[in-house]
């Protein structure tokens, strides 16, 4: 029994040390470089690191050289078995109003190690509330719009309706 306890304590110490000393900024820059190959660039004013997190402050998001959005703060938090990305105050460029909600006050993206092919999304903004799932295995995205506001009318042409209400679905 003592051996099991020692192994468990060693695992916890190793896990904590790994999280504590993980080169968060270097990993972020590697991710940023990978996203650039897809045409996506994030230009942040500053980066703050915490024990288990990385914060991007005042980030502009570019797709193929075109500024598509501005984000006040992006918080990336990981415990290795779960990763959470929290986005605050995302404002879409006015030229894209017909394709996406103009303002997302808060979005939460969650990935669990125990469910590696699924990414959950929760968001709220000028459109109302939204929840969604990205299925990486089937390569599809479904966003369900809940408690919608009048601004959703601008997007209604891109949305479908079922028993749950309005939704957007696409494959990639």
Total structural domains in the chain? 1
pLDDT of residue 87: 98
pLDDT tens for 108-130 read 999 999 999 999 999 999 889 99
Tokens of 80: 């290795």
Is 3 within the bounds of a domain?
no
Mean predicted lDDT score pLDDT of the chain: 93
Long-range contacts of 66-74 (CB under 8 A, 24+ apart): 66/93, 67/93, 68/92, 68/93, 68/96, 69/93, 74/44
Containing structural domain, residue 125: 79-172
- Residue 146 included in any domain: yes
Is the pLDDT at 96 greater than 90? The verdict is no
CA distance 4 to 30: 37
Compute the distance between CA of residue 69 and CA of residue 55 in angstroms, rounded to an integer: 17
pLDDT for the residue numbered 81: 93
- 96 part of a folded domain: yes
- Alpha carbon 165 to its chain's center: 23
User: Within a domain: residue 66?
Assistant: no
pLDDT (tens digit, 9 = 90+) per residue, 55-77? 999 999 999 999 999 999 999 99
Interatomic CA distance for residues 13 and 9, integer angstroms = 6
Per-residue pLDDT at 98: 72
Whether 132 maps to a domain, the answer reads yes
Q: Would you state the pLDDT for residue 59?
A: 97
Q: Is residue 71 part of a domain?
A: no
> Does residue 25 lie in a domain region?
no
Q: What are phi and psi of 15, to 5 degrees?
A: -60, -45
Model confidence pLDDT, tens digit, residues 81-94: 999 999 999 999 98
Cα gap 128→163, rounded to integer Å: 18
The reported pLDDT for the residue numbered 89 is: 97
- The pTM score is 0.87
Instruction: Tell me whether residue 106 is in a domain.
Output: yes
| pLDDT, tens only, 18-46 | 888 889 999 999 999 999 999 999 999 99
């Amino acid at each position: 029994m003592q051996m099991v306890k020692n192994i468990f304590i060693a695992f916890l110490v190793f896990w904590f040390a790994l999280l504590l000393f993980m080169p968060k900024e270097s990993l972020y820059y590697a991710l940023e470089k990978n996203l650039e190959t897809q045409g996506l660039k994030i230009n942040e004013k500053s980066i703050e690191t915490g024990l288990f997190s990385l914060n991007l402050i005042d980030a502009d998001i570019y797709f193929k050289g075109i500024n598509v959005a501005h984000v006040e703060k992006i918080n990336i938090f990981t415990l290795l078995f779960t990763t959470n990305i929290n986005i605050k105050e995302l404002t879409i460029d006015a030229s894209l109003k017909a394709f996406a909600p103009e303002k997302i006050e808060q979005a939460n993206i969650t990935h669990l190690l125990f469910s590696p092919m699924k990414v959950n999304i929760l968001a709220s903004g000028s459109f109302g509330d939204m929840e969604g799932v990205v299925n990486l295995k089937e390569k599809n995205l479904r966003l369900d719009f809940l408690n919608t506001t009048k601004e959703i009318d601008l997007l209604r042409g891109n949305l479908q309706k079922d028993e749950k209400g309005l939704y957007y679905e696409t494959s990639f």
